[in-house]
Amino acid sequence: MTGDREALQSSWNQTRDHLDAARSQLTSLPDIDLSAMLEFLEHNELGLAFDCLVDLGGDLDLPLGFWQHLDRAAREMRLYSDALHKPHLTAADICRRHLAAASEQG
């Protein structure tokens, strides 16, 4: 049981690192409110923090690196496989679209 707990904690830490790296690319932008995202991180609500970042980044012309970090976080949380079972567009779907568009540009 300890091994499972350690693996889960390691996964959370990796996800958090990717979310923090994506967030760091927003901190210098004016009029970006990261308070909700930071509160979700504080309460270890990583999926909700991910959703916030995708939502914040959706209307901005952000570099490929931002979307790559979110993509890695989504993969770590297995959001893409979860998205296959939902009839509506998820934040993971939107992240994938932005990642593809940013990849084509850069």
pLDDT digits (tens, 9 = 90+) for 51-104: 999 999 988 889 999 999 999 999 999 887 765 666 677 888 889 888 888 888
Burial class (CB in 10 A: 0-12, 13-18, 19+), 47: middle
How many domains in the chain? 1
- Full residue range of the structural domain in which residue 62 is found: 2-105
pTM of the shown model:
0.84
Confidence of residue 2 (pLDDT cuts 50, 70, 90): confident
pLDDT at 23 over 80: yes
In the Cβ-directed half-sphere of 26, how many Cα atoms lie within 13 Å? 25
